[in-house]
């Protein structure tokens, strides 16, 4: 027979249990006494020292290394493993600057830096046609290019670039793993020198362009280009391999100071884009909305600036020719490329500058 507690008795037992002091619990302090904190067991900073004490990062040589002791033969063998031929070795304070390349591409080379102590190798450049280069400090190289692009047949102004290896012989890199920093100087050309920018075989290629806009800026001239829409083949060729500005060449008459820019295979006028053209240029055509048909009048641009006066435009066969008179302040010029929309409207800026005694050491 199961026994049952009365409801009243159950409530009483629960009340007494709640009021009884628990084992190990602190007794209430007498009235008027100063309360005390329970004793602390162990060190209050236990485990904190381990958290706050800095630990030296583990160094893992995550780089390719030439076998040491470093010899010229070891360096050449190291690059030969990847099919490269070492063309020149320049020693500097126990390290080496290495020029190397492919045997079947004789005009283009790469540069690498090899640390003599550990053999750490750092690739400095991609394939480049160098006009010159020199070591300017530990892990620092300055080079000048010919202006020839190595991936497409395109010629630009020569560039001067300074490279610095980040880290040291043990391979310490920045947080993003970047091994080399670079600084490129603006390339300035003498107006008296003929300059060709673009495809060196401009007379033989089939790319055609429409001049969409031309303006006189505060320090030069600006141009933008689109496809020639009067012929379906010419229209399509503008996008192969990607839209780019027209090839141009400059000339200068020192007696009259007339500066001439000839844009090859370029028109001042084009009709509307056909339906087939719009369908073919999907992804680009939206950027031409409202630009065609396009017609830029021949004659004066109607503006001068600090460096040039009397800019005029004319169609000369399949080319567009701009002429202007340079002031005595137009000492050098540079060329900047850009894009006005979605890769569909390539642009060019020709900027002039005055003589600068800090930049120009001739006078």
Query: For residue range 183-225, what is the model confidence (pLDDT) as tens digits?
Result: 999 899 999 999 999 877 755 566 899 999 999 999 999 999 9
Q: Average model confidence (pLDDT) for the chain?
A: 82
* Contacts for 305 with CB less than 8 Å, ≥ 6 apart: 216, 217, 218, 219, 220
Q: Which long-range contacts (CB under 8 A, 24 or more apart) does 133-139 make?
A: 133/97, 133/99, 135/90, 135/92, 135/97, 136/162, 137/164, 138/92, 138/93, 138/95, 139/95, 139/113, 139/164, 139/165
Query: How sure is the predictor about 61, in pLDDT bands with cuts at 50, 70 and 90?
Result: very low
For residue 48, pLDDT over 60 is answered with: no
Which has the higher per-residue pLDDT, 290 or 199?
290
- pLDDT given at position 5: 34
For residue 125, pLDDT over 80 is answered with: yes
Task: State the residue for tokens 């806009």.
Answer: 213
- pLDDT given at position 237: 86
Q: Which of 114, 188, 88, 178 lies closest to 144, judged by CA?
A: 188
- pLDDT given at position 358: 84
Q: Is 146 left (phi over 0), alpha (psi -120 to 50) or beta?
A: alpha
Query: How sure is the predictor about 63, in pLDDT bands with cuts at 50, 70 and 90?
Result: low
Query: For residue range 3-15, what is the model confidence (pLDDT) as tens digits?
Result: 333 334 333 333 3
For residue 326, pLDDT over 60 is answered with: yes
- pLDDT given at position 204: 55
φ and ψ at 50, to 5 degrees? -65, -35
Q: Which two tokens stand for residue 50?
A: 């381990």
CA 7 to chain centre: 84
Q: What is the 8-class DSSP label of residue 354?
A: -
Query: For residue range 151-188, what is the model confidence (pLDDT) as tens digits?
Result: 777 788 999 999 999 888 887 666 667 889 999 998 99
């Amino acid at each position: 027979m199961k026994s049952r507690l009365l409801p009243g008795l159950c409530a009483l037992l629960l009340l007494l249990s709640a009021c009884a002091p628990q084992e190990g619990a602190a007794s209430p302090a007498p009235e008027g006494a100063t309360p005390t904190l329970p004793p602390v067991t162990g060190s209050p900073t236990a485990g904190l020292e381990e958290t706050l004490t800095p630990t030296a990062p583990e160094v893992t040589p995550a780089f390719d290394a030439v076998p040491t002791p470093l010899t010229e033969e070891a360096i050449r063998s190291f690059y030969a493993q990847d099919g490269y031929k070492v063309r020149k070795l320049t020693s500097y304070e126990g390290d080496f600057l290495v020029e190397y390349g492919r045997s079947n591409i004789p005009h283009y080379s790469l540069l690498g830096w090899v640390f003599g102590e550990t053999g750490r190798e750092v690739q400095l450049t991609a394939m480049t046609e160098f006009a010159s280069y020199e070591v300017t400090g530990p892990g620092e190289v300055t080079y000048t290019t010919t202006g020839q692009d190595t991936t497409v047949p395109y010629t630009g102004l020569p560039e001067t670039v300074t490279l610095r290896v980040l880290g040291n012989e043990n391979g310490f890199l920045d947080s993003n793993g970047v091994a080399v920093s670079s600084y490129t100087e603006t390339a300035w050309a003498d107006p008296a020198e003929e300059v060709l920018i673009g495809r060196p075989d401009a007379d033989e290629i089939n790319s055609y362009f429409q001049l969409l806009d031309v303006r006189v800026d505060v320090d030069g001239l600006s141009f933008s280009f689109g496809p020639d829409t009067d012929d379906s083949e010419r229209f399509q060729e503008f996008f192969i391999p990607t839209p780019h500005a027209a090839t141009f060449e400059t000339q200068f008459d020192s007696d009259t100071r007339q500066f001439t820019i000839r844009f090859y295979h370029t028109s001042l006028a084009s009709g509307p884009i056909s339906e087939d053209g719009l369908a073919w240029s999907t992804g680009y055509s939206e950027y031409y909305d409202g630009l065609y048909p396009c017609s830029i009048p021949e004659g004066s641009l109607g503006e001068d600036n600090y460096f040039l006066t009397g800019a005029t435009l004319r169609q000369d066969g399949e080319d567009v020719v701009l002429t202007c008179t340079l002031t005595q302040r137009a000492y050098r010029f540079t060329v900047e490329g850009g894009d006005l929309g979605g890769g569909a409207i390539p642009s060019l800026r020709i900027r002039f500058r005055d003589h600068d005694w800090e930049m120009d050491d001739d006078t």
